Amino acid sequence: MEIKTVEMHTGGEPLRIVQSGLPPIIGKTILEKRRYCQEKLDFVRKLLIYEPRGHFDMYGAYIVEPDHSEADMAVLFLHNEGYSTMCGHAVIALGRYSVDYKLVSPVSPVTCVNIQCPCGLVRVFVDFNGQKTGSARFRSVPAFAFDVAVTIETERYGKVVVDIGYGGAFYALVPAERFGLDVKTSRTRDLVEAASHVTACAKKQVKLRHPDSEDLAFLYGTILTDGKDEFQENATANICVFAKDEVDRSPTGSGVTTRIAVQYHRKLIGLNQVRKFESVTGSLFTGVAAEETTCGEFKGVIVEVAGKGYYTGTATFTTEPDDKLGQGFLLH
């Protein structure tokens, strides 16, 4: 097996885009393709995401054939635990990649790339004026507050009150202060420990549902925030811990979408009020509630998130039949 990739990052969060070498991915719909990868091709994910080619916090993307009539392309996202339903940092990078690698015809000054994600169609707007700036923004699928002020019983921290929202994936939101932590100064491992414990407990106690598909109804992770949810000009900081204790180096595109949706639901922000979001690396995304919408019985918003995607290189990965470690392992 020989797999060629293009390597990128958005806000410090890596993205390994597979260009060639994948076995056929079977399925009529994108969710069927996602399930096929889970059931039949997971060894490829481990080859690309796990060591020795990747690491515990690696992230990747397969470009596949869309089944949405408006889509220019479709994408499957992969990480240390499996396959997510939405990834904002990835679609920002993929928007630029699509223009630069001529998957879509560039239009000046802004090229629109319609990307079908497992959660639905996401529209990415790539700045294009003959120069490669890396800047792009995406408009989310309908995002909403699923439930607010939910009390979770935890073994380690007692009762913890969280908000649960959806921004292409479901997250629990809670201020880091609740655990005596600060998202900008505390040790990352302490933040991860608190967030992962909340996720594990919430998964057992909260039954999620999504109007479109049961495949979307799972808690992806917990986002610890600085508690600054009311609108202000300064950036609000957060750390997103998702999948298997994986830490997002970026502010998290789907996480920003979720935070905006919950803030709007709580009437802490209004339409078209642009907010800045800061990650553990100091990188920034902006997010704004662009318009009201609905998703089944949920009232929500379309959120627009902006950031910059950059190239870091290319790679050709190979395997040898007697290399058991080369099939992938994780140290954590």
Q: State the sign of the Cα–Cα–Cα–Cα dihedral 189, 230, 138, 221.
A: positive
Query: Is pLDDT at 131 greater than 70 in this prediction?
Result: no
Predicted confidence at residue 1, as pLDDT, reads 87
SS3 79: coil
The Cα-based distances of 248 to 14, 70, 291 in angstroms read: 9, 30, 27
pLDDT band at 99; cut points 50, 70, 90: very high
Task: State the pLDDT at residue 332.
Answer: 83
Cβ atoms of residues 183 and 224 within 8 Å: yes
Least confident of 66-80, 118-132, 189-203, 236-250: 118-132
Q: How confident is the model at residue 181 (pLDDT cuts 50, 70, 90)?
A: very high
| Cβ atoms within 10 Å of 306's Cβ, excluding its own | 20
pLDDT at residue 93, rounded to an integer: 97
234-254: pLDDT as tens digits: 999 999 999 999 999 999 999
Range from 103-107, 141-145, 251-255 carrying the lowest mean pLDDT: 103-107
User: Which among 5, 39, 37, 7 has a CA at the least distance from the CA of 24?
Assistant: 37
Mean pLDDT of the chain: 97
pLDDT at 134 over 90: no
How does pLDDT run across 193-227, given as a tens digit for each residue? 999 999 999 999 999 999 999 999 999 999 999 99
Q: Residue 128: its pLDDT value, please?
A: 80
Which one of the listed residues 87, 117, 240, 295 is annotated catalytic? 87
**Residue-wise pLDDT tens digits, 11-67:** 999 999 999 999 999 999 999 999 999 999 999 999 999 999 999 999 999 999 999
**Domains of the chain and any CATH numbers:** 2-140+312-316 (3.10.310.10), 143-307 (3.10.310.10)
pLDDT value, residue 256? 98
Pick from 27, 28, 76, 74: nearest CA to 48: 76
CA 225 from centre of chain: 16
Residue 130 has pLDDT above 70, yes or no: no
Bond before 52 cis per omega within 30 degrees:
yes
Contact residues for 285 (Cβ-Cβ < 8 A; gap 6+) = 11, 88, 250, 251, 252, 253, 256, 276, 277, 279, 305, 306, 307
Query: Is 87 a catalytic site residue?
Result: yes
* Residue 188 scores a pLDDT above 70: yes
Place of tokens 């509630």: 289
Q: In the predicted model, is pLDDT for residue 129 greater than 90?
A: no
